[in-house]
A = this chain, B = another copy of it.
Amino acid sequence: MEATDRKLAIMKVIIEDYIDTAAPVGSRTVSKKFEDGLSSATIRNEMSDLEEMGLLVQPHTSAGRVPSQAAFRIYVNELMSLNGAVSEDERAAVNSFYMCHIGDMENLMKQSASLISAMTKQPALALVPQLRRTTLKRLQIIPVIKGAALVVIVTSTARVKQKVIRVPDNVGDHDLNAISRMMTERFQGQSIADIDVGRIGTSQDSFLMDTDVFRAIEECINDALLLPDGSDILIEGVRNAFNYPENESIDDIKSFWTLFQDRVRLQRMMTDALRHDVKVTIGEENGEDWLKNLSVVTAPYKVHGRSLGSVGVIAPVRMDYARIIESLKIVSENLSKVMTLYISE
């Protein structure tokens, strides 16, 4: 069976109606919305063909039809139009928002996620600038309690990340101070991924015979600061997930909730987004069971061509792709601009 233009046009109408209403679409509805005045009987025949081709699905005999995930893929690739999905006014509003913010990174990312969520009426995710892709501004080791110290790392994107490490008892406050100063001087401006504490350990400074602290710090940086632990993910607008008409049972809500609780998994997903441009993953394409009824759209923000972090939306397969893609593009472009400003100073 061949997918004629008319079939695809009909499918497009069905998809867009379904995105709107979340309810199966009947032939009469399509007939009314379809530009050329085709009768519902004709539409029925075409719809029957589309079903045979695996693009439409009938929940039960006497219901309308629902687009399959394959249909959404075709829609996203070939059928939808991005023009006008986000109005010029909205664009301008977003741009001006990024003009006049004061530079608190964590907050900026949070607001970006909120913004996306507000524009799309869906839950939004943001991955803050990744440490291993930014440079070190300062490293400070602060004694907290006997045997433990706090490592505070400040990055070029004004992110602060902290972690408690154990230190040998024979290392005093003064030593920690000296190490902090030394490491900051040595690694300032370098990529955090490149920090190789070992190199310092072998240096001439003899005030510290014990290299345990260095090893602890290295471990701290590697394991604690660079491994995805879910702290790099911001989630906003989860409440939107409660309004999906297709979710009526509490179990649906629960599974959504557990989804958003698994921050590590989300972080991994959003980190994967760094390797692509705008990326749309529809339902089972995700390959993961927990996402089989959801689609994910992500967009990275970049500095000098290098992806630093990402923003994204996670929503039912019947999301409004055009609007979501455009919203993410706008936000990620703005973020890229702001970040470039930060990094270059």
Contacts and interface: CB of A to CB of B under 8 A. Distances in A.
A1 interface: no
A103 B163 CA distance: 10
Contacts of A242: 250, 253-254, 257
A15 B210 CA distance: 63
Given A137-B142, A142-B154, A253-B250, A103 B261 contact: no
A86 interface: no
Interface string A160-173: 10111010000000
Contacts of A105: 164
Nearest to A161: B160
A160 B154 contact: no
Contact of A162 (B160, B164, B250): B160
B104 A163 contact: yes
Interface in A216-270: 238-239, 242, 247-248, 250, 253-254, 257-258, 261
A217 B271 CA distance: 35
A38 interface: no
B253 A164 contact: no
Interface in A135-171: 137-138, 140, 142, 144-146, 148, 150, 152, 154, 158, 160, 162-164, 166
A76 to B, nearest CB: 29
Nearest to A155: B144
Given A150-B158, A150-B160, A250-B253, 16 more contacts: A102-B148, A103-B144, A104-B163, A137-B142, A138-B140, A138-B142, A142-B154, A144-B158, A145-B342, A146-B345, A158-B164, A160-B160, A239-B254, A242-B253, A242-B254, A250-B250
B104 A164 contact: yes
A166 B102 contact: yes
7 contacts: A148-B158, A152-B154, A152-B160, A242-B250, A242-B253, A250-B253, A253-B253
A142 B158 CA distance: 9
Interface in A96-152: 102-105, 107, 137-138, 140, 142, 144-146, 148, 150, 152
**Shortest 5 CB-CB contacts between residues of A and residues of B:** A104-B164, A144-B158, A103-B148, A160-B162, A145-B345
A341 interface: yes
A72 to B, nearest CB: 26
Contacts of A258: 239
Contact of A250 (B104, B160, B248): B248
B164 A103 contact: yes
A152 B104 CA distance: 12
